[in-house]
Structure 1
Amino acid sequence: MLFEDITPVIISKNSENTINRCLESLKSFKHVVVYDNGSTDDTIRICRLFENVIVIEGDFFGFGPTKNYAAEKAPTDWILSLDSDEELHQSALEELSKWNLQDIKSVGQILRENWFCGKKITTNGWGNDLIIRLYNKKSHTFTDSQVHEKIEKNSQTKTIKLKGKIIHYAIFDIKQTLDKAQLYSEIYASSNKKIKYNFFFIVMKTIFAFFRSYVLKLGVLSGWRGFVISFGDAIGVFFKYAKVYQRSEVKK
């Protein structure tokens, strides 16, 4: 089957390790939009190997605003939002083929299966990850959040759970844990939503972030992977608040 009325939209940057798998899973769609914000690796070259892919290059405005901007470039109103490290499992295609395209108030929610260094993870808050990824851009958009963006629902929104799943290759190299902590903390510290805490409270929040992920969310059951994820969660919390603190103190 060929999907002509739904366009997958992806934002990418230096995604050469995952973008091919992502785009291979989307060959059933007439159009796929990839909005690239500054790749210096082979990401763009790989994208142009796929005849159904429209490559657009531009700036990064934060995750929410960038995804909305990229969606506006799609030739259809129905958007399937994916990340460049995700793969649409073929089990979802039949469900998409039955989607009611006339009901623009409905959004499609799907299970995301998260993988870390070659293994599916269900601990650390990574299990039962249901996310809205199918929507009509005339009635719904992503929030303007710089990070942790999501589809903004309203009183008329009807959420429908789709069968199938998205496979998320979140981390395939531990280095990515540090890279993501750096990226997300920098975006937060530069946003207008940043909050300054005293340094003792930052340390306490960091310790609790590890405890919550490793103990309360059962990361301990996932062996070394669970520990690394928990440590990464703690690092992310520390650096996003430490950067705000440091910049405020230096200005003084």
Structure 2
Amino acid sequence: MNISVVVLAKNNEKTIGKTLNSLIEFDDVVVYDNGSTDGTISIAKGFKNVNLVQGEFKGFGWTKNYATSFAKNDWILIIDSDEVVDSELLKELKNKKLDKRTVYKLNFKAFYKNIQVKHCGWNNQKIKRLYNKDVTSYNSNDVHEDIITQGLNQELLKGNVEHYSYHSISEFIIKADRYSTLFATNNVGKKSSSPTKAFFNGMYSFFRTYILKQGFRDGYVGLIIAFSHAVTNFYKYIKLYELNKELKK
């Protein structure tokens, strides 16, 4: 296939083997590792089609664009190291005639451990992941990075990506801290915040996830996800408030 797959990785020994097994039919898979201290690197080295690159992390937008520079092909498929390409999507990628002026979306099925999350706004998300690097790239956002699509078409491909993003409650806590810090540092001096804004953003995030998006139908997993969203949003804005105060000093 004339598609290079780019995979960002850091301490993903639980999932990266499954990810790379699903990409075995691609000739060029770039694994960009940014500081793994577990078995991630040794697992990646076990795949003959993997080009392992080790480098630094400077926010998701910059890092994805930099990792893409090591790809051999113009067509870039971004797959995270906790995601699995299913057989239907693989078949579609092998047979699809791609248009350079189109950015392609993939359908995502979300899992906590091996439990499929069918609500919370997690299931069947359509996310842009396949593009031609001669035509476009990711924006430079540290978080909530996205492929630039101005003046381009968009199309949804058949098949699914299975996303195994969390394997313990502790991982929710770690990611909440990491993402909220990235948000705050990326927006300090640009956006205003306050303790009140932080509180109500957190409360509304829980209500939206658990009630409006029917997270309660996912049982205790839905409660974990809704509370994690609340915590992340609270810390995003309280950290931003604190950084803005320090900036004024």
Question: How far 1:195 sits from its partner (Å)?
Answer: 2.5
Q: Distance in 2 between matches of 1:182 and 1:192?
A: 16
Q: Give SS of 2:92's match.
A: helix
Contact 2:198 2:236 in 1 (8 A): no
Selected match of 1:84 from 77, 81, 85:
81
Determine the structure 2 residue equivalent to 1:115.
111
Structure-2 separation of matches of 1:117 and 1:218: 20
What residue in structure 2 maps to residue 32 of structure 1? 29
C-alpha distance in 2 between matches for 1:217 and 1:195: 27
Equivalent position amino acid for 2:208 in 1: R
- Counterpart of 1:58 (choices 51, 55, 58) is 55
Give structure 2 stretches of 5+ with no counterpart: none
Q: Deviations over 1:121-165 (max 9, x none)?
A: 12111122011111110112112111111211022x222221111
Aligned mates of 2:179, 2:224 — CA distance in 1? 17
Amino acid at match of 2:75: W
Q: 1:17 aligns with which of 7, 14, 18?
A: 14
* Contact 1:7 1:75 (8 Å CA) reproduced: yes
CA distance in 1, matches of 2:46, 2:11: 16
Q: Does the 8 Å contact 1:65/1:144 carry over to 2?
A: yes
Cα distance in 1, alignment partners of residues 29 and 21 from structure 2: 11
Going from structure 1 to structure 2, the CA distance change for 1:202 and 1:159 (only over 3 Å counts) comes to: same
Q: Letter of the 1:175 partner, please give it.
A: S
Distance in 1 (alpha carbons) for counterparts of 2:194 and 2:143: 23
2:210 paired residue number: 214
1:202 corresponds in structure 2 to 198
How much has 1:107 moved relative to structure 2?
Answer: 2.0
Cα distance in 1, alignment partners of residues 40 and 229 from structure 2: 27
Partner SS state of residue 190, structure 1 = helix
Aligned sequence identity (%): 39
Relative to structure 1, the CA distance from residue 202 to residue 115 in structure 2 (aligned partners, 3 Å threshold; closer, same or farther) is: same
Matched, 1:72 2:69: yes
Q: CA RMSD in A?
A: 1.4
Which of 120, 132, 137 matches 2:128? 132
Query: In structure 1, what is the Cα distance between the partners aligned to 2:51 and 2:235?
Result: 36
Contact between 1:16 and 1:42, CA under 8 Å: does it hold in 2? yes
Partner secondary structure for residue 38 of structure 1: coil
Return the alpha-carbon distance in structure 2 between the equivalents of residues 161 and 204 of structure 1.
Answer: 35
Q: TM-score with structure 2 length normalisation?
A: 0.95
* Contact 2:194–2:238 under 8 Å retained in 1: no
The 1:163–1:30 alpha-carbon spacing in structure 2 relative to 1, beyond 3 Å, is: same
Q: 1:67·1:142 contact (CA, 8 Å) conserved in 2?
A: yes
Question: Which moves more between the two structures, 120-129 or 219-228?
Answer: 120-129
Q: How many angstroms apart in 1 are the aligned matches of 2:174 and 2:21? A: 26
Q: Determine the structure 1 residue equivalent to 2:235.
A: 239
Q: Look up the SS of the partner of 2:164 in the other structure.
A: strand
Does the Cα contact within 8 Å between 1:195 and 1:241 map onto a contact in 2?
A: no
Distance 1:21 1:75 in 2: 23
Show the counterpart of 1:172. Answer: 167
Query: What is the alpha-carbon distance in structure 2 between the residues aligned to residue 175 and residue 151 of structure 1?
Result: 30
Counterpart for residue 96 of structure 2? 99
* Deviation by residue 1:75-98 (Cα, 9 ceiling, x = unmatched): 110111100100111111221122
Give the structure-1-normalised TM-score.
0.94
What is the CA-CA distance between 1:57 and the residue it aligns to?
Answer: 0.6
The amino acid that maps onto 1:100 is K
What's the counterpart of residue 179 of structure 2? 184
Shift, 1:250, TM fit:
4.9
Q: Would the aligned equivalents of 1:109 and 1:160 in 2 still touch at CA under 8 Å? A: yes
